[in-house]
């Protein structure tokens, strides 16, 4: 046996044991119960799939995925992005003209991160997607995210932007220029953005966005997308759930498959977004099904340490059953367990 290998983990591998693993299990169940109560059905995506299918969507992640060759000589990729793997699965399972389908997942992903990434906490994603046409689906997904964050006891803020608005504003750019522009906007380098900078700099509510809209000349399409974003916010307000949401057009989405609403959730004390999502209406078509879709995923590992589990009896703190014989102890344990306690024999 190689002693050195026994004590180290390959970069990017995650190990979770005992109390930490229990904490994840409890939180996963809580969120999954919430998903179930909203009518979201579980989906498990394959751990690996054909690389070629995903290559066009990997973008900057292409260098970080793990590839391997199967026994037939086909190139495979390990699951690196659940949204992509889910799109592929649903593209095959659903038929055109299907009814709206609500799905959810909790799964690990595998990606190589360099030492600076220290992203072991990004490898467990829990999320939900709404597949199909429904005018309220954007709002439903945001409301669901809001409840998930509340369920976890987080006071995270969710910033809403629009990739559709970006696309409408910069449709004339070449792919390389678009990429540079996406970066300039998301990093708020306004000198590189040009005359639309005041619009993309907006952060706040509908009034701020409306004011910015009238301060710079924009195309009809850009205006339509901005109004649609405002409408989404208004719907959240009407539902009495706008508290943690803000409009922020510097949110343009981390993936190129987004086509509409995009958003990320931020929590004080975390150096990066803890959840992200958006609308991707063309992605499923690439896997054989014309169907719009919107969803989010949350890096549960990033927030686990911030969540108060409450008075959950931990198995590590289990009490010992009393009794002089095994049968007595079993009877005692059954009684205590029925009351929700954690008991060893």
Kindly list the residues in this chain that would bind another protein in the complex (CB under 8 A): 114, 116, 118, 157, 159, 183, 186-190, 203, 248, 264, 266-273
- Counting every residue written for the chain, the total comes to 345
Q: Which is nearer to another protein, 103 or 242 (CB)?
A: 242
Q: List Cβ neighbours of 40 (8 Å cut-off, separation of 6 or more).
A: 102, 103, 104, 128, 144
Q: How far is the CB of 77 from another protein (least distance, A)?
A: 24
Q: Which is nearer to another protein, 29 or 183 (CB)?
A: 183
The CA-based angle 289-290-291, given to 5 degrees, is: 100
Q: Which is nearer to another protein, 83 or 264 (CB)?
A: 264
Q: How far is the CB of 187 from another protein (least distance, A)?
A: 6
The sign one gets for the Cα dihedral 73, 74, 77, 79 is: negative
- Among candidate residues 118, 126, 122, 125, the one with its CA nearest the CA of residue 9: 118
Q: Which is nearer to another protein, 156 or 222 (CB)?
A: 156
Q: How far is the CB of 180 from another protein (least distance, A)?
A: 13
Q: Which is nearer to another protein, 159 or 255 (CB)?
A: 159
Q: Which is nearer to another protein, 2 or 268 (CB)?
A: 268
User: Read out DSSP for 222-276?
Assistant: HHHHHHHHHHHHHHHHHTT--TTEEEETT---SSTT--SEEEEEE-TT-SS-SEE
Tell me if 331 sits within 8 A of 345, measured CB to CB.
no
Q: How far is the CB of 268 from another protein (least distance, A)?
A: 6
**Edge-to-edge strand order for the sheet containing 75-78?**
48-50, 75-78, 67-69
Structure tokens at 141: 């997904």
Q: How far is the CB of 203 from another protein (least distance, A)?
A: 5
Q: How far is the CB of 182 from another protein (least distance, A)?
A: 12
């Amino acid at each position: 046996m190689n002693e050195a290998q026994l004590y180290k983990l390959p970069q990017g591998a995650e190990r979770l044991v005992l109390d930490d693993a229990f904490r994840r299990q409890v939180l996963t169940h809580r969120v999954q119960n919430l998903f179930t109560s909203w009518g979201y059905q579980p989906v498990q995506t394959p751990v690996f799939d054909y690389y070629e299918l995903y290559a066009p969507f990997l973008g900057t992640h292409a260098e970080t995925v793990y590839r391997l060759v199967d026994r037939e000589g086909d190139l495979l990729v390990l699951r690196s992005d659940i949204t992509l793997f889910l799109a592929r699965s649903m593209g095959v399972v659903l038929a055109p003209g299907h009814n709206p389908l609500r799905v959810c997942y909790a799964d690990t992903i595998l990606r190589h991160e360099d030492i600076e990434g220290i992203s072991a906490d990004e490898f467990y994603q829990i999320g939900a997607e709404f597949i199909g046409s429904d005018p309220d689906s954007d709002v439903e997904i945001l409301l669901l995210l809001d409840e998930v964050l509340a369920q976890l006891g987080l006071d995270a803020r969710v910033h809403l932007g629009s990739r559709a608005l970006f696309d409408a504003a910069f449709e004339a750019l070449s792919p390389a220029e678009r990429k540079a522009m996406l970066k300039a906007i998301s990093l708020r380098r306004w000198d590189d953005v040009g005359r639309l900078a005041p619009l993309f700099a907006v952060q706040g509510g509908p009034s701020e966005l409306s004011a910015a809209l009238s301060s710079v000349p924009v195309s009809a399409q850009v205006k339509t997308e901005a109004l649609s974003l405002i409408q989404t916010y208004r719907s959240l307000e009407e539902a009495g759930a706008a508290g943690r949401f803000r409009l922020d057009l510097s949110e343009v989405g981390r993936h190129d498959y987004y086509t509409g609403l995009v958003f990320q959730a931020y929590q004080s004390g975390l150096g990066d977004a803890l959840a992200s999502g958006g609308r991707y209406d063309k992605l499923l078509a690439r896997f054989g099904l014309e169907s719009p879709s919107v969803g989010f995923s949350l890096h549960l590992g990033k927030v686990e340490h911030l969540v108060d589990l409450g008075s959950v009896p931990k198995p590590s703190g289990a009490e010992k059953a009393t009794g002089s014989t095994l049968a007595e102890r079993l009877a005692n344990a059954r009684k205590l367990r029925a009351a929700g306690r954690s008991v060893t024999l």
